[in-house]
Every structure is written in structure tokens, then in C-alpha cells.
Amino acid sequence: MTLTATAPTRPARTAKPQRRRGVLSYWRFYLALSPFYLLFVVFGLYPVASTILLAFQKWDGLGPRKMVGLQNFGFLIQDSTFWLSLWNTVVLFVMSTAPTLVIAMTLAVMLHSAVRFKGIYRIAYFIPNITSLVAAAIFFAAVFSTNFGLINAGLRSLGLPTEDWLRQPWGIKIAISTMIVWQWAGYNTIIYLAGLQAIPTEQYEAAKVDGAGPFRTFFSITLPQLRPVVLFTVIMSTIGGLQTFTEPQVMVGNNGGTGQSGMTVVMYFYNQAFFNNDYGYAGAIALSIFMLVLLFTAINWKLLGGRGRQ
């Protein structure tokens, strides 16, 4: 007869029901995050809400505010200077954004295929973006000046007639858009370069085996793969381009130059608020700028984002 020892079985542990912690138990986390939300409310949310309310009021900055309903928007529709500034803004946006993105894409593709000195090229392309905007505007005003500008010096050396760039409506727009292209082409180049480096090299190798040329490879592989990056740059360029202010203000002054051809919507808003002390009307212009940016962003999203989903 043999005896077998059996180990006593331990009762299975039962998981203790977790007690739900109250909201106040996370107060340390809320306290750590509170500085961001406080700053956002003071410097982000409150100015937006105040501007929306101000658009329906009449206020000179000192006296009591008076509700006027849609009066500011009614005057805005009949204001020819507002529509002129809106036209100037859209023209400058088109003249600067399209060349900026095309040049940035070209430079990014060239830089992506370069073997040496990539770091130096990246720094050189990004320098305009960190240069003082006022200093750059003064420099470009000198470049486009009538008597001593580099542009007219080049035209004279070629035997061509010179132009009074900063006193002609289209000359002003060309000078301003040239400066915007110079400032933002390098910034977008760096973004496109980051997107190019994320594309798998196997796709290029397969295209090369199939006999695809450089242009076919670019339009069939590179551009479709970069569609989200292109959409991002187009939207950011739209937001920045429709808020152009410093470039025309420094180059042609607060009145927008000859025929107010350099007057943008943001400059007109600035003049109404801080020169005419009509803060209610300035609030209505600010809301129109917001709606304009929203409209152009939605159009770009529809054109580029929609095709990407297809």
C-alpha cells in the first residue's frame, strides 16, 4: 500500500473590484495642465469672442460700446476700399503661393538626390524664414527702387527700359510677392524634403526596373506619395498668404502705395482700428478675414484631400 501526498489547493484569488476615482482625485494633473488652458483662454479664446461681439457694436476705444446689429456688415458690403483690399489680397496670394510651392518642390527633389553638402543646403534654404521680416522688406524695397535698385540695374545692363516698380500697381504686387516667395520657399522645401525621405526606396527601384523615366516616376510615385504633405503646405500657405501685412506695410506704407494697390485686408483692418478708431468696423473686417481663410482652406481641402481619398 502506497501513500501519495497531495498538496493542498489554494483558493483562487478573486480580483478586487476597482473603485472609480472621482474627478477631484486627478487634481494634480489638472493643476499641471492649467497654465496652458489659462493662457489659451486669456490670449486665444477671449480675443476671438471679444472680436465677434465687437463686430456688432460701435466703439471708438474710449467711450461706451453701443450695439448696432448688422450695421457694420452692411457698410462692409458697400465699402469699395474693402473690396479693393480683398482683391489685392487674393492676387498677392495667387502670385506668391503658386511659385513658392513649385520652387519648393523643385528644390526638395534636387536636394533629395544630392549626395554632398545636404546640411549646408538645408541651412541656406531655411535662413530667409528666420530673417527679420522688417529687415527683409527694407532690403527688397531697395532692390526694387527706381534709381539704385538691383532689378533696374540688371535691366539697364541688358539695354532694357527701367521700371518704377514701387509706384506702379502691378510693380508693387510683383515686389511684394517676390519677397514672400523668397521668404517661404526654403521653409516649404524642408517640409517636402522630409516627405521625400519617408517614401520607400523599393518603389523607385521597381519603377526603374520597369523602365519608368524621371518624369513618370515623379508624377506616378513621388507626387501621389506626397499628397498629404502638399495638402499641409497649401493650407498653411493659404492661412499665411491671406494675412499678408508686414511686407506691403514696410515697402509701400500704410496707405498701400499707388492706387492702394498694396493695401491688403489685414492692412485695411489695421487702419480702421488704430488710425480711424472704429473698432466695431474693424471687428467686422476681422470676421470677414476669418471667413475668407476658412473658405479657401475648405476649397483646398476639397481639391487635394478629396482626390487623395479617391
Q: What is the tens place of the pLDDT at every residue in 222-280?
A: 888 898 899 899 888 888 888 899 889 988 888 888 889 999 999 999 999 999 999 99
Question: Residue 133's pLDDT is what?
Answer: 86
pLDDT at 54 over 70: yes
For range 96-115, the mean pLDDT = 88
pLDDT tens, residue by residue, 140-169? 989 998 888 889 999 999 988 888 888 888
Question: Residue 10's pLDDT is what?
Answer: 56
Integer CA distances (angstroms), 16 to 9, 23, 116, 152, in order:
21, 21, 63, 84
Q: Where are the domains of the chain?
A: 80-271+283-306
Dist. CA 249–CA 255, nearest whole Å:
8
Residue 114 near residue 121, CB atoms below 8 Å: yes
Question: Residue 269's pLDDT is what?
Answer: 93
Q: Lowest mean pLDDT of 9-13, 73-77, 116-120, 223-227, name the range.
A: 9-13
Question: Residue 17's pLDDT is what?
Answer: 59
Residue 284 near residue 55, CB atoms below 8 Å: yes
Q: Determine which helix (DSSP H) or strand (DSSP E) holds 57, and give its type and residue range.
A: strand 57-58
CATH ID of 80-271+283-306, from 2.60.40.10, 1.10.3720.10, 1.20.120.550, 3.40.50.720: 1.10.3720.10
Question: Residue 174's pLDDT is what?
Answer: 93
Question: Residue 302's pLDDT is what?
Answer: 81
Res. 299 pLDDT band, cuts 50 70 90: confident
